Amino acid sequence: MTTGEHDSQVSQPNPFLTQYVPPRIDGSFTGKHIITVDQFARKDLQILFDAAASLRKRVHESDRGLVELCNSKVMASLFFEASTRTDLSFQAAMRRLGGKVISASNGVQFSSVYKGENLADTVRAAGCYADVLVLRHPQLGSSYEAAYYLDKLNQRIQNPTVIISGGDGIGEHPTQALLDMFTIYDKKKQFNHLTVTMVGDLRHGRTVHSLAKLLTHYAPEQVTVCLVSPRSLTTPREIVARLQASGISVFETSELQAVLGQSDVIYWTRVQEERFAADPQEYEAVKDDFIITPAVMRHAKPDAILMHPLPRKHEMGTRSDHDILDEDPRAVYFEQMENGMFIRMALLAKVLRGVYV
C-alpha cells in the first residue's frame, strides 16, 4: 500500500514490484496481464510463436478476416516516455487485428492526468474506457502497480481490462524479449547445440537479461550462451547463475574473436560511453572491440544471424557500414523489427480473445 508518494519519483523501484505476483500463463493467455517473461513456460512460448507465425502469414496474404479478431476491442496507449518503435508496432498490431486504439491527443506526459494524478488512478481511468492498456513508464515495477489496481477495478466494472507492459524503466521489456526469442526460433527452427552470443553492455542491458531468461527454456537442447562485454560491464551474477542452473553452458569473455566463429546467433547491443565516467581510458581501450562492421562479419559463420534491438548508432559503425551490413543476408534486424508487430498481434489476440489465431 503506497502512501501518497508522487509518481514522478521514478528513481526508486515501485513497491508493487515485490508485492504483486503476476499470473503464470500456463497455457492460457486470456485476461492475463503481461508484465514479465517469468510468466512464460516453454509451452507458452510455443503457443505464442505458432500464433505469431500464423498471423504473419495472414498479414502477408492480406487476409481480410484478420480484422475480425479484435474487432470490438479497444487498446489504450499510455506512453509516459517516448518509445516510438514499441508504440508504433503495438498500434499497428492492434489495428491489423481490427481493434481500436486510443491515446492522449497531446501525449500523456503533457496531460493534466499525468501531472496531477497517481498512476493507480490514471490506469483505472484508461481501464474504464479500454479493454487492454499498453503502458510504457520510466519507473521500475510500475507495470506491477498498474496490474494490481486494474485487478481492483475489474472487480467493480463489467468490462475487465488487462495491461501489457511496453517496458518499465531499467526493469523488463517483455515484448522485446519475446520478439527476440521468436526471431531466433523462426530463423533457426531448432536449438540443438545452438550458440547464442550476446555482445555489449551486459550489465545494464535489460534486453539481454530478459532474453537470457527465455533461453533457459531451451537448455535441454545443449544451448551455449557466450557473453561478450567489457570487464566492467559483465552480466549480473544472478543472470549467469540462472543460465547455468538451467543447464546452459555459459562462456564469458571480453574478446569477440574468441567466440565469433562458433556463434549461430550474434545479438549486438550498444556500449555507452557514459558508463565509463569513472574510467574514460577504459572506454577508449575497448570501444573499437564493440563495433560490428562488415569487416568483422567476415569472420562470422555463413549461416549465423546478426540481431540488434535497434535503434543503432556508432556500435554499427558509419552510415556506409550500415548500408553494407543491411545487404548482408545474415543481418536480420529488420525482420526482427517486423516480428515485433507479429508477436504483439499474437499477444493481443491471445489476451483479449484467447482465440485460435
Residues 291-350 that bind its own copies (CB under 8 A): 310-313, 318-320, 322-323, 326-327, 334-335, 337-338, 340-341
Provide, rounded to whole angstroms, the least separation between the CB of residue 122 and its own copies: 8
Catalytic pick among 96, 124, 173, 209: 173
Of 29-37, 148-156, 186-194, 272-280: span binding its own copies (CB under 8 A): 148-156
Catalytic pick among 64, 115, 298, 313: 115
Residues 251-280 touching its own copies, rule: CB under 8 A, are none
Provide, rounded to whole angstroms, the least separation between the CB of residue 196 and its own copies: 22
Nearer to its own copies, 76 or 164 (CB): 76
Catalytic pick among 124, 136, 217, 353: 136
Residues 30-89 touching its own copies, rule: CB under 8 A, are 59-60, 62-64, 66-67, 71-72, 74, 76-77, 79, 82-85, 87-89
Per-position x/- string for 86-105, each x denoting binding to its own copies as judged by CB under 8 A, each - no binding = -xxx-xx--xx---xxxxxx
Nearer to its own copies, 286 or 337 (CB): 337
Provide, rounded to whole angstroms, the least separation between the CB of residue 159 and its own copies: 6
Provide, rounded to whole angstroms, the least separation between the CB of residue 232 and its own copies: 24
Residues 189-218 touching its own copies, rule: CB under 8 A, are none
Nearer to its own copies, 21 or 102 (CB): 102
Near its own copies by CB under 8 A: residue from 116, 255, 281, 302: 116
Residue 86 is a catalytic residue: yes
- The CA distance from 24 to 13, in Å, is 22
Residue 152 is a catalytic residue: no
- The CA distance from 54 to 56, in Å, is 5
Cell, residue 319: 552510415
Nearer to its own copies, 260 or 291 (CB): 291
- The CA distance from 47 to 53, in Å, is 10
Catalytic pick among 36, 86, 183, 195: 86
Residue 136 is a catalytic residue: yes
Q: Could you list the active site residues? A: 85-86, 115, 136, 173
